[in-house]
Amino acid sequence: MPTPIKSSETIRVAISGGGPAGLAAAIALREVPGIEVTIYEQATELREVGAGIRIGFNSWKVLELLGVADKVHGHKKVVHEHRDGTTGELQYRYPAHYGEEKYHDIRARRTVLQAALLSKVPKEVIQLRKRLVTTKQLPGGQVRLNFEDGTSADADLLIGADGIRSVGTTIWRCLIPLDLVKHSVLLKSTAFHHGPGTNFKCSIVSTPEEIAAGKGQWEMTLRYREDPAKATGKKFSWGVPVSNERVASHFTAFTPAIQEAISLAPEGVWKEFAAFSGPRLEHIIANGNTTIIGDASHPLLGAFGSGAAFAMQDGWLIAQILRYYLGRELPKADALARTLELFDSIRSPYYHRMYDYLDSPGAEGSAKGSTLTADPKAPLYWIFGSDIGAQWDEIRAGLP
Ligand SMILES: Cc1cc2nc3c(=O)[nH]c(=O)nc-3n(C[C@H](O)[C@H](O)[C@H](O)COP(=O)(O)OP(=O)(O)OC[C@H]3O[C@@H](n4cnc5c(N)ncnc54)[C@H](O)[C@@H]3O)c2cc1C
């Protein structure tokens, strides 16, 4: 009969990918006794490309658990609007706050979130230029990671947090100095402007102090749904510079204010991203030693403006479950297998509930209107009001 894990025994956890999911997992796992964590990241440096990111109640709650909430700052949204991009007509608006001031919805620069997470991950935990290409199951129950550079590493548990990027929807994003658009009506709100097969989103992403110091920045995120037939064979792009002309050519039906804002971006700041919305996996674990978290497990195309929150929740949760089973005096393989099973049984149904919502009549692939708030009476409170810490406390109380 296999013997339980000795308290002196180390569990080696390998995380592939250093985005919000991988960094959150590393922060939380480093607090579990007996775990040695390494992040293997393909990039030569950890540098977040892209523009802004929404930090709402669900993100704040997990950032608190990770101990970095005080390092995240940005533009406090007052109101969130949806407008017809071609006429400017208001479709709906809803408040962008939830109860306590500290949980107010903000729009932050992605680099701010990444820096906050990185501040809790020592440099030696991250190995750069390690692009995972294949994995192999070893006879002892471990998993071998083979990297593009010909090296390899063995681990007791592999957490795939390497995101997902493909073609389908093209997204163009940029940050520009706020001063360039200070006269624009678009500055009045954080808003989505919808057009046929496209949408334009804009928001301030800086704090009042940054704005007062002349360092204010404004974000534009434009989406364009490619015709799948034409997209076939299209070269994958992620953070690739794109000309103003290419971006503007898809928004000629939009209001003059939007067209002007697009044209005001200095040449070279627009970056193109290819986004992907599938596949919808039934389960996110394998072999008793491997799981995927964050976008790698449930790409949602930014449908709920919470992908980073989901990714960080996944990372934090798996660490708590592992801590629980490592404390049960089980053989190592059992502890790991049970960890993965419980993790899968909590997160997979959660993402399937989201997919079901996105498929439902009226949702049209994204969360809308008042559903976006973390108001307990709002229909999507189970997403926007989710508090992963409270959820885990409840689940744990029901465990033997
Ligand atoms: C346009 C747009 C707007 C969005 N807006 C919001 C928002 O407002 N709020 C929000 O919360 N979320 C938003 N999201 C979603 C959010 O950006 C993602 O959900 C989040 O970044 C997922 O984190 P992740 O760590 O799972 O993946 P990623 O951020 O994709 O990180 C994956 C990491 O893995 C590395 N990697 C990839 N392949 C390998 C490999 N083979 N080996 C090693 N390393 C590898 C990558 O270099 C990267 O560092 C938006 C997404 C899009 C596309």
- In angstroms, the CA 374 to CA 213 distance is 32
The closest-lying atom of ligand 1 relative to the alpha carbon of residue 147 is 42
The closest-lying atom of ligand 1 relative to the alpha carbon of residue 17 is 34
Comparing C-alpha atoms, which of 224, 180, 218 is closest to residue 85? 224
- In angstroms, the CA 359 to CA 370 distance is 18
Return the pLDDT at 165.
Answer: 55
Q: Pocket of ligand 1, candidates 162, 354, 383: which has the most ligand atoms within 8 Å of its Cβ, to mutate?
A: 162
Q: Which two tokens stand for residue 13?
A: 């956890």
CA–centroid distance, 180 to ligand 1, in Å, is: 29
Return the pLDDT at 7.
Answer: 58
- In angstroms, the CA 333 to CA 335 distance is 6
Q: What is the 3-state secondary structure of 253-317?
A: CCCHHHHHHHHHCCCCCCEEEEECCCCCCCCCEECCCEEECHHHCCCCCCCCCCHHHHHHHHHHH
- In angstroms, the CA 90 to CA 80 distance is 11
Return the pLDDT at 48.
Answer: 63
- In angstroms, the CA 263 to CA 278 distance is 33
Comparing C-alpha atoms, which of 290, 304, 311, 302 is closest to residue 24? 311
The closest-lying atom of ligand 1 relative to the alpha carbon of residue 307 is 19
Return the pLDDT at 271.
Answer: 87
Return the pLDDT at 371.
Answer: 61
CA–centroid distance, 304 to ligand 1, in Å, is: 14
Return the pLDDT at 2.
Answer: 61
Q: What value does the CA radius of gyration of the chain take, rounded to a whole number of Å? A: 22
Q: Count of residues for the chain?
A: 400
**Residue 108: which H helix or E strand, with range?**
strand 106-109
Ligand 1 pocket, Cβ-based, cut-off 6 angstroms:
16-22, 40-43, 53-54, 131-132, 161-163, 171, 221, 275, 294-296, 302, 305-309, 311
Comparing C-alpha atoms, which of 69, 34, 38 is closest to residue 312? 69
Mean pLDDT by 10 residues, the chain (400 residues): 66 96 98 96 78 90 98 86 87 74 89 95 96 90 94 96 68 92 89 84 93 94 69 55 86 91 91 69 88 87 84 98 94 94 96 86 64 74 93 95
Q: List the domains of the chain with CATH numbers.
A: 11-42+129-164+279-397 (3.50.50.60), 50-110+167-275 (3.30.9.30)
Return the pLDDT at 166.
Answer: 41
Q: Which two tokens stand for residue 258?
A: 């939007």
The closest-lying atom of ligand 1 relative to the alpha carbon of residue 165 is 30
Return the pLDDT at 167.
Answer: 43
Q: Which two tokens stand for residue 260?
A: 């002007």
CA–centroid distance, 321 to ligand 1, in Å, is: 23
CA–centroid distance, 5 to ligand 1, in Å, is: 34
Q: Which residue has the tokens 């007509």?
A: 89
CB atoms within 10 A of CB 35: 20
CB atoms within 10 A of CB 71: 16
- In angstroms, the CA 270 to CA 258 distance is 15
Q: Which two tokens stand for residue 9?
A: 């025994």
- Identify residue 75 by its one-letter amino acid code: H
Crossing angle of helices 57-66 and 307-326, in 10° steps, is 40
Q: Work out the burial of residue 391: count CB atoms within 10 Å of its CB; fewer than 13 is exposed, 13-18 middle, 19 or more buried.
A: middle
The closest-lying atom of ligand 1 relative to the alpha carbon of residue 21 is 25
